[in-house]
């Protein structure tokens, strides 16, 4: 049967595939639209298998909170090249997956991949289809969600880094402070909210390193443990969010900044995704 330009355009709008790929798929299936979609999906599976070992160091990260500010997600979709990451169609595709996550709030990446992208494909299947369209390996390399009284997202310019922060108050002051803290998380990359969030293995390693350094510096062995404890305290201040110096006023900690913004205000959780 004759393949019209309207048929080709319709397939292109649904799949994002190139005009020639769409025309070839329609010719191959004698104009059967659904079968042509399957042809393009199978192409994506073949490309995915071929490029399975390729590295995906580029991509985009988007953080977004719900309209009521009670939940939020941060998602990273990685690709192979900066050329693809900067393409407006790729940016729109990443946003479309974020929209699915925002509508369903899956607990983890596996749940997200199994969600319906549209009335025909799951998120996983849609990504495979887009691999065929783009010709590069695509991977959801990070996904996190937060539920709190107030959730604030921050997208660093260039969308290579994004953060989410949850706070224990829904006030305007909390929202404003949350924006500052979300940028703090982006800039300072804390390991945990406070020292209770640092795992014992990390603490033991810091103590061992601190003790060894003290001995190498010629300090008496009986003082090495005390010096190591002091260095551990410094490690906590530098690597736990609430104890970090606030980047906009390093005379106070993040905890003190929050208390000044609203009595009892604190961060309940945070997430940070970065491609670098």
- Mean pLDDT, to the nearest integer, of 43-65? 82
- Mean pLDDT, to the nearest integer, of 65-75? 97
> What is the C-alpha separation between 51 and 55, in angstroms, rounded?
9
Q: What dihedral angle (degrees, nearest 10) is formed by the CA atoms of 168, 67, 246, 214? A: 70
Return the closest-CA partner of residue 241 out of 272, 208, 205. 272
Do 139 and 17 share a structural domain?
Answer: no
Domain presence at residue 12: yes
- Mean pLDDT, to the nearest integer, of 43-52? 69
Domain presence at residue 42: yes
Burial of 264 (0-12, 13-18, 19+ CB in 10 A): exposed
Q: Residues 258-273: pLDDT tens digits?
A: 999 999 999 999 999 9
- Contact yes or no for 244/265 (Cβ under 8 A): no
Please give the residue that has the higher pLDDT: either 88 or 32. Answer: 88
Do 110 and 178 share a structural domain?
Answer: yes
Do 174 and 88 share a structural domain?
Answer: yes
Q: Is the pLDDT of residue 14 over 80?
A: no
* pTM flag (> 0.85): no
The residues pairing with 76 across neighbouring beta strands, listed in sequence order, are 61, 142
Do 136 and 75 share a structural domain?
Answer: yes
Do 122 and 97 share a structural domain?
Answer: yes
Token pair listed for 96: 């479309």
Do 97 and 9 share a structural domain?
Answer: no
Do 45 and 141 share a structural domain?
Answer: no
- Contact yes or no for 186/272 (Cβ under 8 A): yes
- Contact yes or no for 131/121 (Cβ under 8 A): no
Confidence of residue 110 (pLDDT cuts 50, 70, 90): very high
Question: Number of structural domains, the chain?
Answer: 2
- Mean pLDDT, to the nearest integer, of 3-14? 81
Do 163 and 130 share a structural domain?
Answer: yes
The end-to-end CA distance of the chain, in Å, is 50
- Mean pLDDT, to the nearest integer, of 221-249? 92
Do 270 and 156 share a structural domain?
Answer: yes
Confidence of residue 17 (pLDDT cuts 50, 70, 90): confident
- Tell me which residue range forms the domain holding 132: 58-193+263-274
Sheet containing strand 139-147, edge to edge, reads 58-65, 71-79, 139-147
Q: Is the pLDDT of residue 52 over 80?
A: no
Q: Is the pLDDT of residue 18 over 80?
A: no
pLDDT of residue 261: 97
Domain presence at residue 224: no
Query: What is the pLDDT of the chain when averaged over all its residues?
Result: 91
- Contact yes or no for 106/112 (Cβ under 8 A): yes
Token pair listed for 227: 């010096």
- Mean pLDDT, to the nearest integer, of 201-230? 87
> What is the C-alpha separation between 225 and 211, in angstroms, rounded?
6
- Contact yes or no for 16/130 (Cβ under 8 A): yes
Domain presence at residue 31: yes
Do 91 and 45 share a structural domain?
Answer: no
Do 69 and 131 share a structural domain?
Answer: yes
pLDDT of residue 270: 98
- Mean pLDDT, to the nearest integer, of 158-186? 97
Other CB atoms within 10 Å distance of the CB of residue 66: 15
Q: Residues 124-135: pLDDT tens digits?
A: 999 988 888 888
Residue 178 belongs to domain with CATH number: 3.30.479.20
Confidence of residue 184 (pLDDT cuts 50, 70, 90): very high
Three-class DSSP category at 87: coil
Please give the residue that has the higher pLDDT: either 36 or 231. Answer: 231
Burial of 82 (0-12, 13-18, 19+ CB in 10 A): exposed
Domain presence at residue 181: yes
In which element (H, E) is residue 267 found? strand 267-274
Domain presence at residue 217: no
Question: Which residue has tokens 């062995």?
Answer: 221
């Amino acid at each position: 049967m004759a393949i019209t330009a309207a048929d080709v355009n319709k397939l292109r709008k649904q799949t994002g595939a190139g005009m020639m790929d769409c025309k070839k798929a329609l010719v191959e299936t004698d104009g059967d639209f659904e079968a042509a979609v399957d042809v393009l999906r199978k192409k994506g599976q073949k490309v995915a298998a071929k490029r399975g070992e390729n590295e995906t160091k580029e991509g985009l990260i988007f953080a977004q909170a719900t309209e009521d500010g009670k939940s939020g997600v941060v998602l990273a979709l990685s690709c192979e090249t900066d050329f693809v990451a900067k393409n407006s169609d790729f940016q729109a595709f990443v946003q479309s997956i974020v929209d699915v996550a925002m509508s369903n709030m899956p607990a983890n990446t596996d749940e997200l991949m199994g969600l319906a992208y549209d009335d025909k494909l799951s998120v996983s299947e849609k990504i495979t289809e887009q691999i065929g369209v783009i010709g590069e390996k695509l991977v959801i390399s990070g996904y996190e969600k937060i539920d709190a009284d107030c959730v604030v997202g921050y997208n660093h310019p260039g969308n290579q880094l994004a953060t989410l922060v949850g706070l224990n108050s829904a006030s305007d002051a909390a929202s404003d402070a949350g924006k500052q803290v979300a940028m703090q998380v982006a800039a300072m990359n804390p390991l945990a909210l406070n020292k209770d969030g640092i795992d014992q293995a990390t603490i033991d390693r810091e103590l061992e390193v601190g003790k060894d350094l003290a001995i190498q510096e010629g300090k008496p062995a009986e003082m090495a443990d005390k010096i190591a404890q002091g260095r551990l305290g410094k490690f906590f201040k530098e690597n736990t969010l609430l104890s970090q110096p606030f980047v906009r006023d390093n005379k106070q900690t993040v905890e003190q900044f929050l208390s000044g913004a609203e009595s009892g205000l604190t961060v309940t959780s945070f997430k940070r995704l970065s491609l670098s």
